[in-house]
């Protein structure tokens, strides 16, 4: 099952429609970030592979549980084909994001501004820009924090001199991390805007 299903206008074209989305994250490694590729190519490559992966998974489910023969199209595959190809919301280790993430931010900003807009068109454009900024800022921070948390959790299993002392320090800091996590989950619309990193 994909992670998300939304009804919205995609890429500024056509009517609103049901779309499927899948979240993926990439972490630093030779298989995800080959030296020959540019940094943003990793998220593009991963997002491009998702529709084929979902078609294959649907076929395997049909074969396993329905008993469809090889080459036949089963009910799960038929249901999946009713939608457009699954959109890949891929976030990279360095805070970069796939093209579908940028398109989703734009679509959400347009939808939010339509719901909350009563003034002239100039105000609508500013409102779209504000929503886009708020969404990007929040997602960017969540992405970078997630990558940092993964790195820290891996350090817990590291060995060598100083590993036990580092584990004690991390355990002592758990309360501070929990408080920061709670603060990060507060709704952004109730807080004053502050300048933050622009990651993607």
Instruction: Please state, in angstroms and as integers, the Cα–Cα distance from residue 172 to each residue in 164, 168, 182, 187, following that order.
Output: 13, 6, 17, 28
pLDDT at residue 115, as a whole number: 82
Q: Is 49 helix (H, G, I), strand (E, B) or coil?
A: helix
Q: 11 Cβ partners below 8 Å, 6+ apart?
A: 103, 106, 107
Lowest-pLDDT range of 80-84, 168-172, 181-185: 181-185
Confidence of residue 74 (pLDDT cuts 50, 70, 90): very high
C-beta separation of 103 from 46 below 8 A: no
Q: Where are the domains of the chain?
A: 4-190
Confidence of residue 174 (pLDDT cuts 50, 70, 90): confident
Q: 131 Cβ partners below 8 Å, 6+ apart?
A: 108, 109, 112, 113
Convert the pLDDT of each residue in 29-59 to its tens digit: 888 888 777 768 999 999 999 999 999 999 9
Convert the pLDDT of each residue in 117-155 to its tens digit: 767 777 888 889 999 999 999 998 888 888 888 877 777
C-beta separation of 150 from 93 below 8 A: no
């Amino acid at each position: 099952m994909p992670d998300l299903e939304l009804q919205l206008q995609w890429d500024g074209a056509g009517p609103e429609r049901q779309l499927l989305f899948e979240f993926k994250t990439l972490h630093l490694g030779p298989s995800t970030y080959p030296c020959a590729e540019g940094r943003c190519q990793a998220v593009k490559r991963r997002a491009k592979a998702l529709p084929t992966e979902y078609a294959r998974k649907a076929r395997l489910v049909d074969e396993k549980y329905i008993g469809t023969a090889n080459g036949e199209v089963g009910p799960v595959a038929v249901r999946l084909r009713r939608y457009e190809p699954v959109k890949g919301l891929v976030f990279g280790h360095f805070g970069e994001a796939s093209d579908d993430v940028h398109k989703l931010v734009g679509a959400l900003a347009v939808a939010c501004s339509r719901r909350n807009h009563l003034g002239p068109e100039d105000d609508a454009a500013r409102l779209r820009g504000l929503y886009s900024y708020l969404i990007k800022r929040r997602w960017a921070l969540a992405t970078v924090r997630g990558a940092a948390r993964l790195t820290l959790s891996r350090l817990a299993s590291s060995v060598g001199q100083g590993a036990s002392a580092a584990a004690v320090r991390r355990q002592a800091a758990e309360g501070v991390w929990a408080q920061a996590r709670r603060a990060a989950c507060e709704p952004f619309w109730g807080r004053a805007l502050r300048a933050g990193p622009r990651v993607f």
